[in-house]
Structures are given as structure tokens and as C-alpha cells.
Amino acid sequence: MTDIIRLTAAQTAEKIASGELTAVEVTEAHLARIEAVDEKVHAFLHVDREGALAQARAVDAKRAAGEPLGPLAGVPLAMKDIFTTEGVPTTVGSKILEGWLPPYDSTVTKRLKAADVVILGKTNMDEFAMGSSTENSAYGPTGNPWDLTRIPGGSGGGSAAALASYQAPLALGTDTGGSIRQPAAVTGTVGVKPTYGGVSRYGMVAFSSSLDQGGPCARTVLDAALLHEAIGGHDPMDSTSIDAPVPPVVEAARSGDVRGMRIGVVKELGGEGYQAGVVQRFEESVEVLRGLGAEVVEISCPSFVYALAAYYLIAPSECSSNLARFDAMRYGMRVGDDGTRSAEDVTALTREAGFGAEVKRRIILGTYALSSGYYDAYYGSAQKVRTLITRDFEKAFESVDVLVSPTTPTTAFPLGERVDDPLAMYLVDLCTIPVNLAGNAAMSLPCGLAPEDGLPVGLQIIAPALKDDRLYRVGAAVEAAFVKKWGHPLLEEAPQL
């Protein structure tokens, strides 16, 4: 018997299309898996059993009626709890939205439904996507399937953990500073942050509007490409969405040829402070690429050293404004409305109870950075750094096709280790943040286990804006080479749950 849950999305879709499996069988297998392991992993905040089965039945009916099926028809997906889903809870990992049933679907949700993808449920995340470990979730942390006492990354730790524990073959994430790529790196999965504007943000609860980008998460590069194609493309409901066709990501993922490509190693992303096993696996990856016929050069991006500081001004500034709407007036939690208190008091009490410490910290930080008298020094300077970083990338891409770096400086650290040290937590996203600031595209994919702790290491590939297909071309080549070298996908080395 096929082990349904271990199939890739592409294989699953193929078997459903051919009639070898029904969508209902596939969905039931994944629901059973969730039942069996998620108590330990805690990847899901909400499982929509009925909704998923209804969608699966609809796919089977469609096939029975001879209607054409999309390339991902019947494939289950775990959705980060940041995308609105009509009538299905959407909490963004926060108490302040506990019990909220959105009256509308995000564009991504709509597109997935139209593509006959089966949405299993909503996954855990750091509250409002602020964090790198899911420990900021108001609903408790998620465990890393490689070691349940360690972090699965964040903010999209739930989605990555769902993939790594075979609870779903596809997942959705959002990446503001690394929230797709860093969880992918530490769980041995694939995650892509598309070019800013490549995937609609409509219905994606905003953290930092100019940095947030939804994107695909999967266990293989091809699966990520199929999902990317399903959710990407122009959306008239999002003014910042790019009015251009989705880059040919699926084609690139199927080709995987890097001969003659020029690849730049970013000098500033690596070296001192990086875990030895991470550096070792990264250097091996570079050798693999060279062996595949790519030309590798070193590239300097001097402004990247300011990226983290700029990010922690821009993201909190935007979030301080984006989160102002959570005032207990229209939806979500309301505390202290006993008929004697003013609207201001009720808002204050609700925010006090409804927002976690990290969210409050960033709102305060951002409010300060935008204040008159401080704006130029903080928000203004950060925007200048952003321009410099963008120029560094532009200059780099004049001489190379893609850039590579480790995705994270270390492998997954133990839960609880950095919760009281925000700065140490912020450093986790050192390598991923420059990409968000510049708005271009990047992928993380597994490149082995660090010898010292046996935990996954991620390779980051960075492409120019609108050239997302290059990620898939390079990613597919590296993936194929490693699978050949290891004899199996990396995830097969993960412990059984």
C-alpha cells in the first residue's frame, strides 16, 4: 500500500488524477496523521475536518464528472493562520482575534479553493508573525519534528512542522523577515519568499505591509513551484501586487540546470558567529553547485550589516499602525465593557489582555520611531538603509544570476533558550532580512545535517526581483544532487513520531 502521507504533492495530484487515489482517501489519511501526531507537534491551531472533506468530495465528484482538474487538485494543504478564511477561525496566533470568524476569504484562499486544493486547517505561528520560534504564539509553541524540544522556526513554525511531520504535503507561509525561510531551514523543508508583490496580500493579516510576502512551503522544490504558481499573479484587490505573469517557476523546477550560471557567495552572510556545521554544509553546497557546472564568485554587499537595525525600525513602525485597528470596537476580543467604562478604557484593557509581550514591544518601538522629532533619525534613516541594500543587490546581480548564503546562522535551538533575550532571537533572521528590505525573491532548501547536532541546515538562494524562476532552477539542481548523494530526501532521516 502507498504511504499516502509521504507522497509529494505532485505525486499525490497525479494519483488522484489517474484515479489511483481519491481526494477523500488522501484527505482522510492526512486527517488521521494529524490526529496521531499533532498532539505532540502542535502544528495546527484549527483543523477544518468538515471543510477539508467537503472540498475533497467536490474534487472527486469533479473527476467523476469528467471535468478538468488543476495540477494540485485534491492535494491537502496546511495554511498559516494569517490568511483569512471565510467562516473558519483566523487568529494570527493572537488572543485578540480568538473566536473571530472572518466574513471573507483572502485572495490566496480563494485561489487555492479554485485550484481544488484541500485546506486541512490553520497552522500555528508567532503572534502577528512577530518571532522566529513560534514561542510568541498565544496558543503555545510548536515542536520541531526533528526534536520536539527544539524550535521549529518562526513565525511560520506550524506550517514547516506540518510538512516535516507529514501532516500535509503543502503549506502556506508569510515572510516578513524570514518567516518562511528560517522555519524551512530548521525543519529540513523548502520555503520560498516570492518577489514582493508576487503573491497577493489581500486577506493576509498585516504585520509590516512593505515587507510581508506570502509564499509556498513544501517538502520538494517542484511542489513549492506548483503551489507558487497556484497562488501567484496579479490581484486587483492588492495595489502592490505585480501586474505581470507569474515567472515560469514550474518549468524551472523541472529543468534544474545550472550549467553556465553565475552564483555569488555573499561575503557578509557567513563566517564568525555562524555555527560550524552550518558553515560546513553551506560550503559543501557551493561545491555541489560548482560541480554542477555553475561559476561561483564571492560578492560583497557592504550595506547588509545595517539590515537588521533597519528592519527593526521599519517593521515595528508599520506594525504600530497596522495593529491600531485592534481596538475592541468591531471584532475580536473585548475586555472590561461593563457599561461604566469609556471606549478608550475598554480598548486599553483589551490590548493589555489580548496582545503578547513581543507584539507590545514592537508597537511601542514603532510608535516611538515614527514620533515627530524622531522620524528622520529612525524611520527615515532605515528607509535610506533600505535603498542602500537594494543597490547592493542590484550591483551584485549585474555580475551574478543568484546569490547564496546559509539561511540561518545556527540550527534549531532549544525551546525557551532565547525567549528572554529578544536581541538573540532577532539575530536568527540576519541572513534572510536583507531580501525583504529589497523586495526580491529567495528560497531556503535543505543542504544536510550539521554534524555536531544532527539537525537540518538550510541553503538560501536569492534571485533578483521578478526572477523567482531562477530560485527553482538552482534549487531543483541542488536538491537532485543532494538526494543522489544521500540516497534519499533529507526528511527521511527525521525521527519517527
Partner 1 sequence: MTVTDLLSYEDALASFDPVMGLEVHVELGTRTKMFCGCSTELGAEPNSQTCPTCLGLPGSLPVVNAVGVESAIKIGLALNCEIAEWCRFARKNYFYPDMPKNFQTSQYDEPIAYNGYLDVQLEDGEVFRVQIERAHMEEDTGKSTHVGGATGRIHGASHSLLDYNRAGIPLIEIVTKPIEGAGERAPEVARAYVAELRELIKALGVSEARMEMGQMRCDVNLSLRPHGRSTFGTRSETKNVNSLRSVERAARFEIQRHAAVLTSGGTIVQETRHFHEEDGSTTSGRIKEEAEDYRYFPEPDLVPVAPAREWVEELRGGLPELPRLRRKRLQEEWGIADHEMQSVLNAGALDLILATMAEGADAASARKWWMGELARHANETGAELSAVPITPAQVARVAALVAAGDLNDKLARQVIEGVLAGEGEPDQVVDKRGLKVVSDDSALGAAVDDAIAANAAIAGKIRGGNLAAAGALIGAVMKATRGQADAKRVRELVLEKLGVQG
Give the residues lining the site for partner 1 (CB under 8 A).
83-84, 90, 92, 97, 100, 102-104, 106, 201-206, 208-210, 236-240, 317-318, 320-321, 324-327, 329-331, 339, 343-344, 347, 367, 370-372, 375, 379
Classify each residue of 115-128 as buried b or exposed e, where b means 16 or more C-beta atoms within 10 Å of its C-beta.
bbbbbbbbbbbbbb
Write the CB contacts of 392 (distance below 8 Å, at least 6 apart in sequence): 301, 302, 303, 304, 434
Least distance from C-beta 390 to partner 1, angstroms?
Answer: 15
Closest CA to 204 of 155, 141, 142: 155
What is the rounded distance in angstroms from the CA atom of residue 262 to the CA atom of residue 7?
Answer: 33
Can you read off the three cell numbers belonging to residue 120?
A: 486541512
In DSSP terms, which residues pair with 441 in a beta bridge?
A: 463
| 336 close to 350: Cβ distance less than 8 angstroms | yes
Strands 295-299 and 402-406: unpaired
What is the rounded distance in angstroms from the CA atom of residue 469 to the CA atom of residue 247?
Answer: 6
What is the rounded distance in angstroms from the CA atom of residue 351 to the CA atom of residue 333?
Answer: 9
| 195 close to 468: Cβ distance less than 8 angstroms | yes
**Helical segments of 215-330, H only:** 221-231, 249-255, 276-291, 307-322
Say whether 414 sits in a helix, a strand or coil. strand
User: For partner 1, which is the closer residue by CB, 92 or 258?
Assistant: 92
The position carrying cell 524551472 is 252
Least distance from C-beta 192 to partner 1, angstroms?
Answer: 21
Can you read off the three cell numbers belonging to residue 7?
A: 507522497
| 193 close to 211: Cβ distance less than 8 angstroms | no
Is 155 among the catalytic positions? yes
Name the region of 377 (left: φ>0; alpha: ψ -120 to 50; beta: rest).
alpha
The CA angle 214-382-406, to the nearest 5 degrees, is 55
Closest CA to 194 of 246, 159, 158: 246
Closest CA to 90 of 139, 41, 54: 139
Can you read off the three cell numbers belonging to residue 478?
A: 541542488
Count Cβ atoms below 10 Å from residue 175 Cβ, excluding itself.
31
Classify each residue of 89-107 as buried b or exposed e, where b means 16 or more C-beta atoms within 10 Å of its C-beta.
bbbbbbbbbeebebeebbb
Write the CB contacts of 66 (distance below 8 Å, at least 6 apart in sequence): none
| 310 close to 211: Cβ distance less than 8 angstroms | no
Catalytic site residue from 94, 137, 159, 179: 179
Catalytic site residue from 155, 159, 208, 303: 155
Write the CB contacts of 17 (distance below 8 Å, at least 6 apart in sequence): 63, 69, 73
Is 165 among the catalytic positions? no
What is the rounded distance in angstroms from the CA atom of residue 153 to the CA atom of residue 482?
Answer: 23
Least distance from C-beta 239 to partner 1, angstroms?
Answer: 5
Is 80 among the catalytic positions? yes
Write the CB contacts of 111 (distance below 8 Å, at least 6 apart in sequence): 230, 231
Catalytic residues: 80, 155, 179
